[in-house]
Amino acid sequence: MKVSTIARAAMRVACGVAILPATLAMAQQPAGHTLDLTREERTALQALEAAARGSDRAAQDAALAAARPVAQSADARHALAHYQLEIAQARQDAALGAAAVDALVSSGNATSEELPSLLASQATRAFFEGEHPRAERLLAQAVELQPNNAVLIADYAQIKSQIGSALIRGGRRPEAQAQFQESLVLLNRAIQLQQASGQAVPESWYKRSMAIAFDHGMTPQNVALARGLVASYPTPVNWRDALHFYRQASQPDPALDLDIRRLLRATQALSGERDYLEFAEGLREAELAGEEKAVLEEGVARGMLSATEPVVRQMTTANNRRATSERNGLARARTQALAAATGAAARAAADSHFGFGQYAEAAELYRAALQKGGEDPNLVNTRLGAALALAGQRAEAEAALRAVTGPRADLAAFWLAWLARRPA
């Protein structure tokens, strides 16, 4: 039985334990044990059952009041609490539902299927009341009973994270860090269980995991979370968050930074003046005037840059001559690169063609750079894969990207995630 997440409203959680009883005559305990009730208990509970099925609040309240002093056995208390919970759910009465949940737990007759959801409901209430340690204990008990319940585990992770935040506010940072680490382990486990069950992982689980990892310095080993987010929820906003998360986890490397920004552009995740100006500045420093020109023009076309803004106007004016010169030299650069003994010229010429959107020509030159040698094969294969992907050659792009190893393997995996969502 899946319960509401911690982040949902307290009323929904208190009344959201979906335990609907069978009719009293059919109610069973584990191992097929029929409810053991006295005649008075059965009479009172049958009246309560009828009232619970109706909509007369006064009748329901009267039936509950009449049944409470009569229901003395564990079976009777358990059945009464079931009907009370059903009434609370219909009314959206958080207080009545919370009391019913407590009664179901304290009856001692809750089934192994019911109990984890009931404990989770109590934990959520404790959480909203600020009793975080109690909430943690209750969810730990629930997870112990259902160790493969991904939703319970995700809720448990949320409690751990909240406890960590409280510890930080209290100046207990080492203890807080341990809670955050446990929270991240639990969320990873919940994601893996959800995937193994064939069910979609909620977007919030990925985002929560990334936030914990980013905020508390645990990013390098959790880049897979960012890939999982965009693989399942490939919105431009998620791509931007995921790739910035990856950049934060990576060692400073201007060439890698440019390649990350190229994927941001391909996924339409560049957003705002800063993204475009920083990308254009990086391309200027790399002496890739053609690509710088394309980025500036795209920024203006998308309304992210204003052509009349002094800094944009200055960059555009300074770029025009260099971009024209680079374009005029493309054919000569290609000829010289193919005749060169090493791959450096071919890689440089490929970068220029890439910047002008000539992806097929860039791919040819990247392949030449690989064949001639002398260049980092992981960098070249990353860019070869990107060029082929943008040229619409999916199978060839995938082969190049899968050849990438080392620090760039994560970026290649991001490109593969993007390719997987591209129309064939």
> What would you report as the CA-atom Rg of the chain, rounded to the nearest whole angstrom?
31
pLDDT, the chain, mean: 88
Task: Classify residue 374 as exposed, middle or buried by CB count within 10 Å of its CB (0-12, 13-18, 19+).
Answer: middle
Residue 16 pLDDT exceeds 80: no
For 295, phi then psi, to 5°, come to -70, -45
Quickly list DSSP for 189-239. HHHHHHHHTTPPPPHHHHHHHHHHHHHTT--GGGHHHHHHHHHH---HHHH
Assign domain 114-232 to its CATH superfamily.
Tetratricopeptide repeat domain (1.25.40.10)
* The predicted structure's pLDDT at residue 104: 86
Over residues 379-420, the pLDDT tens digits come to 999 999 999 999 999 999 999 999 999 999 999 999 999 999
- Tell me what the mean pLDDT of segment 62-91 comes to: 90
**% pLDDT > 70, the chain:** 92
pLDDT score of 17: 42
Q: Answer with the residue of higher pLDDT: 21 or 131.
A: 131
pLDDT at 298 over 80: yes
Query: C-alpha 68: how far from its chain's center?
Result: 46
**Distance from chain centroid for Cα 334:** 43
Rounded mean pLDDT of 110-114?
80
Distances (CA, A) of 273 to 299, 300, 303: 8, 9, 9
Cβ contacts of 253 within 8 Å, gap of 6 or more: 407
Spatial separation of the C-alpha atoms in residues 343 and 341, rounded to whole Å:
7
Sorted by where each begins, the domain ranges of the chain are 20-111, 114-232, 340-345+353-424
Quickly tell me which residue has 């000569």 as its tokens: 332
CA 216 – CA 210 distance, rounded (Å): 10
